[in-house]
Structure 1
Amino acid sequence: PAPAAGPPPVSPGPPAPPAVIVLDDGQRIEVRTVALLGRRPQPRPDEVVEVLVSMDDFARSVSKTHARLRWDGQVGWLVDRGSTNGTAVQDATGRRTVGQDLEEQVLPGQQVHLGHRSFVLEVAPAGPGGVA
């Protein structure tokens, strides 16, 4: 007898949509994996980062490398990188401070505060082109 056929191979689904960081000045930055945010963000020597998000801040409330955002395809995960003025996520219950050692969940639509600057995390629209 012929060997039994196994289950058909599973084809991967469409890739997860990227996140979009919408800065308070209107700038939009697409992120598929990891972003560093700050005045002049720099990755650590062993760190792999997709995008560096430079934020102008004449008041210097944003640290050089202020925070790290990791996008998992559905939600963001934020870590403060030892900033002077802190990082916080605004949700329905108020502001919650983001620690330096623990990733804090950021849902699409929530506002993140880095010093006196902020951004909203969004999901890029499906389809070709994504972010305009």
Structure 2
Amino acid sequence: PQPGRRRRDPSAAPQGPTPPTVATPAVPPAPAPQQRPVAPPTSRHAVQPPGRSATWRVTFDSGESFVVTGLGLVGRRPEPRGGEEVAHLVPLSSSDMSVSKTHAQFHLSADGALVVMDRGSTNGSFINRGGVARELSPGRAATLVDGDVVRFGDREMRVAREG
């Protein structure tokens, strides 16, 4: 070998001409798709320890209150769809008829979170979290956190995580 020149290991590099080096301009990464922000967790919304199931209580403005044990339906005269196993039927009278017959549903997800879904109601359902209201998309489940208030027409349900 000649002084000042490095020896190349022939097994490390392919034989043949080396392609020219071309500088490419730096391209910033594409932004992540926008998702609707939901209030970030705080100490009030503690993360569930693994292996421990959450207990969720719902309290309606009618005074009815219970721990959620399965699927719940809310409306003026809520009725399950064929094959649905319902644990809670919550009829809510509506002075201005803003609550649909079967307005919405709520249930525990596989990971123990409480979720709510508007079932295509006429007047919609809204989550009020920390003073900010957000309308639910019909047929799309939304995860609830301790302290949320859900509006079904002119009625409401408060959510509390216990234990």
TM-score (norm 1): 0.75
Deviates more, 1:71-80 or 1:94-103: 71-80
Residue identity in the other structure for 1:66: H
Query: For 2:127 and 2:103, how far apart are their aligned partners in 1?
Result: 14
User: In the TM superposition, what whole-angstrom CA distance separates every residue of 1:13-63 from its partner, at most 9, and x where no partner exists?
Assistant: 67x353221011322132112101111100000212211111121221111
Contact 2:129 2:149 in 1 (8 A): yes
Q: Does 1:69 align with 2:106?
A: yes
**Aligned residue pair count:** 112
Task: Give, in angstroms, the shift of residue 68 of structure 1.
Answer: 0.7
Runs of 4+ in 1 over 6 A off after TM superposition: none
Match of 2:123 in 1: 85
Match of 1:112 among 124, 146, 150: 150
Contact 1:80 1:98 in 2 (8 A): yes
Task: Give, in angstroms, the shift of residue 104 of structure 1.
Answer: 0.8
The structure, 1 or 2, with the larger RCO (C-alpha pairs under 8 Å, 6+ apart) is 1
How has the CA–CA distance of structure 1 residues 58 and 93 changed in structure 2, closer, same or farther, with 3 Å as cutoff?
Answer: closer
2:96 alignment partner, SS class: coil
Q: RMSD value over aligned CA atoms?
A: 1.9
> Structure 1, unaligned stretches of length 5 or more?
1-12, 127-132
How has the CA–CA distance of structure 1 residues 61 and 46 changed in structure 2, closer, same or farther, with 3 Å as cutoff?
Answer: same
Q: Does 1:25 align with 2:62?
A: yes
Contact 1:23 1:119 in 2 (8 A): yes
TM-score (norm 2): 0.62
Residue identity in the other structure for 2:64: Q
Match of 2:159 in 1: 121
Match of 1:53 in 2: 90
Contact 2:145 2:161 in 1 (8 A): no
> Structure 2, unaligned stretches of length 5 or more?
1-50
User: In the TM superposition, what whole-angstrom CA distance separates every residue of 1:83-131 from its partner, at most 9, and x where no partner exists?
Assistant: 111001001361111111211111121000000110101134x5xxxxx
Q: Does 1:98 align with 2:133?
A: no
Contact 2:106 2:117 in 1 (8 A): yes
Q: Does 1:37 align with 2:78?
A: no
